[in-house]
Every structure is written in C-alpha cells, then in structure tokens.
Amino acid sequence: MRASFRTAEKRTPWAIQALCNGCGPSGLGKLVPDFNSCWARAGDKHDWEYTEGGTLIDMMRADFRFLARLLMCAADANCWKWIYLFPCAVIYFAAVFLFGWFNFHWRWKPRAHEEMLELARKVLAKEE
C-alpha cells in the first residue's frame, strides 16, 4: 500500500523529520522562507511524495499537488500578502517542475509505508 503522509504525520512524525526538509534543496531547506507559515508543510508533503517515488505520472501529480498547496497558502494570506505570494508560488513551482526530476526517486511503483519507515531509520542511523 502506498505510504500516506497523513498516516505518517500522526503515527511516525520522526519519519517525516528524517525524510523531509520543508522547501528548498536537500540540506538547504532553510534557504526558502516559510511564507505564510504553511509553505514548509507543503514542502514536507512534496518531499514525502518525491521520496515515495514512482513514474513520471507520480512525479507530475506530486508537483501539481505542491502548486495547489502553495496557492492555497497564498489564498489564505492577508489581503496584501497574496499579491506577492501568488507569483512566488508559481515561480517556485516552475523551478521544482523543471529541476525536481534530479531528486525524484524513479521506480515502477511508489514505496509502501513500511519501506518509507525503513528508509527513515537508515537516514537517522547515518546521522548518528
């Protein structure tokens, strides 16, 4: 069964912390500011979907979901903030869409939840 971010968020938040870094390239997640305090969460969900991997369709699905989440963040912002958040969301999406394929885990089918947890354990073991 495909790994669920929502399930991991409730049951294994340590796995999300190990595999996701908010918005930004690996190791540089703090480079992108957390506009409207929900961009990091959108980035974490996107990182989770990229780590799950899959085919080109899975990658495109993850990217367009990411755009939708960023636009929802912008729409929830104060009246004056959305003026710059919408273009930022579109520009950031374009960069991810064009260059994200370097970080996507290409597979015939997405990782299952157990595989994601095992990967998180390996990442945490490496950090220690």
Q: Of how many residues is the chain composed?
A: 128
Q: In the 3-class helix/strand/coil scheme, how is 70-106 assigned residue by residue?
A: HHHHHHCCCCCCHHHHHHHHHHHHHHHHHHHHHCCCE
Q: pTM, whole model, 2 decimals?
A: 0.86
Q: Using one digit for the tens of pLDDT, what is the confidence trace for 9-37?
A: 777 788 888 888 888 766 555 567 767 67
Decide: residue 12, CB within 10 A, 0-12 exposed, 13-18 middle, 19+ buried: middle
Q: What is the C-alpha to C-alpha distance for residues 111 and 55, in angstroms, rounded to an integer?
A: 11
Q: What is the C-alpha to C-alpha distance for residues 20 and 41, in angstroms, rounded to an integer?
A: 9
Among candidates 127, 73, 61, 128, which has minimal Cα distance to 100? 61
Query: The tokens of 32 are what?
Result: 């992108």
pLDDT score of 15: 87
pLDDT score of 14: 86
Residue 54 β-bridge partners: 106
Q: Using one digit for the tens of pLDDT, what is the confidence trace for 68-96?
A: 999 998 888 777 887 888 898 999 899 99
